[in-house]
Amino acid sequence: MTKELVVEKDTQKIVDNSSFALKVENLSKIYDSAAGRVVALDKVSFAIKKGEFVSVVGPSGSGKSTVLNMIGALDRPTSGKIYIDGIDIFSLNDSEIATMRNSRIGFIFQSFNLINRTTVQKNVKLPGLIAGMSNAEANSRSLKILEALGIADKKNQKPVNLSGGQQQRVAIARSLINNPTIILADEPTGNLDTKTGDDVFDMLKMLSHKFKRTIVMVTHNPELAESTDRSILLRDGRIEKDAIN
C-alpha cells in the first residue's frame, strides 16, 4: 500500500496519470547466454494514451516481442521502468505482479494459447475466476463478450475444434474478461490467412474505437499497421520512428 502511494507520487512528477495508460522509460533488456550478449532493447521510451491503438513494427529480431513481454510483466527488464495506470510495475513483488498482470493486462498471442482440454467459455472465464469473480458473474460476463464477438454459439466447443479465426476471437474474448487497462497482441494475425486476419484486426479496431480500449499490437503487416492510430518502428532494439498514422 505504502509502496503504491509512493510510486504514484513519483509518477505524477513524470506523467499525467489521467491520460496515459502506459509509460515506458529508458527500457533496456540484455540477454546474456552461452551464445553471447544480445541487446534486445536499448533505452526505449514511449507513452501511450488511454484509448490509443498503437502498432509496433520492425524487422524480425528488432525487439518487438521483448518490449511487449516487458509491458505484460512476463519478464523483467535489465533497466528502465514501465508504468501501467501510473503504477511502477517492476517495483511490485512477484505476487503483486501476477495480480496486476491478470487484472490490468489482456494478452493475445499469435498461437492463440488457449486451453484445449476445456470449453471456449471456460477459457474466457478463467482469468475472471482467478481475479476473484464469482462463477455466476464470470458466466454472464463471458457470455456477453462471446456474443459481442459473434462466437457465443461456440461456447461449449473445445478450442481445437474451431477455425484459427474463431480461436483468435476466443483469445480476444478472454483478454477482455477482467476489463483490462491494456490489450497486448503479439502478431495476432500472424497465423491466419489474409481475410481471417483482416477480420481479427477489424475486431481489435472495433474494440479500440467503440469501446475505447488501449491496444498495443505487434504486426508484420504494413497495411494493418497503417490502419492503427500510431506506429512505433523498432530496429536493433531502438525506436527508429514513432509517428501518428
Ligand X SMILES: Nc1ncnc2c1ncn2[C@@H]1O[C@H](COP(=O)(O)OP(=O)(O)O)[C@@H](O)[C@H]1O
Q: Which positions lie near Mg ion, rule CB under 5 A? A: 64-65
- Nearer of residues 38 and 131 to Mg ion, judged by Cβ: 38
Q: What grid cell was written down for 160?
A: 481445437
Query: Degrees (nearest 5) of the Cα angle 233, 26, 50?
Result: 65
Backbone angles phi, psi at 228, to 5 degrees: -90, 175
**Closest CB to ligand X among residues 61, 164:** 61
Question: Strands 105-109 and 182-186, how do they pair?
Answer: parallel
Min separation Cβ 56 and Mg ion, Å: 9
Output the smallest distance, CB 65 to ligand X, in A: 3
CB of 5 vs Mg ion, minimal distance in Å: 36
**Coil vs helix vs strand at 204:** helix
- Which residue's CB is nearer to Mg ion, number 164 or number 190? 190
Give, rounded to a whole angstrom, the gap between the first and last alpha carbons of the chain: 40
33 binds, among Mg ion, ligand X, none (CB under 5 to 8 A by kind): ligand X
Nearer to ligand X, 39 or 97 (CB): 39
31 binds, among Mg ion, ligand X, none (CB under 5 to 8 A by kind): ligand X
Within 10 A of 113 (CB to CB), how many other CB atoms are there?
A: 13
Contacted entry of ligand X, Mg ion, none for residue 197, CB cut-off 5 to 8 Å set by kind:
none
- Give me the phi and psi of 93, to 5 degrees please: -85, 175
Residue 12 is given by DSSP the state H
List the one residue out of 160, 211, 161 whose CA is nearest residue 181: 211
Of these partners, Mg ion, ligand X, none, which one is at the site of residue 90 (CB under 5 to 8 Å by kind)? none
- Find the shortest distance in angstroms from Cβ 213 to ligand X: 22
- In the complex with Mg ion, the residue whose CB is nearer, 86 or 188, is 188
Nearer Cβ to ligand X, position 37 or 210? 37
Q: Are 233 and 240 in contact (CB under 8 A)?
A: yes
Q: Which does 97 bind (CB under 5 to 8 A by kind): ligand X, Mg ion, none?
A: none
CB of 169 to Mg ion, least distance (A): 22
| Helix or strand (DSSP H, E) at 202 | helix 194-211
Instruction: Provide the binding-site residues for ligand X, judged by CB under 6 A.
Output: 31, 33, 38, 40, 58, 60-66
CA torsion through residues 219, 224, 229, 230, sign = positive
CB of 64 to ligand X, least distance (A): 3
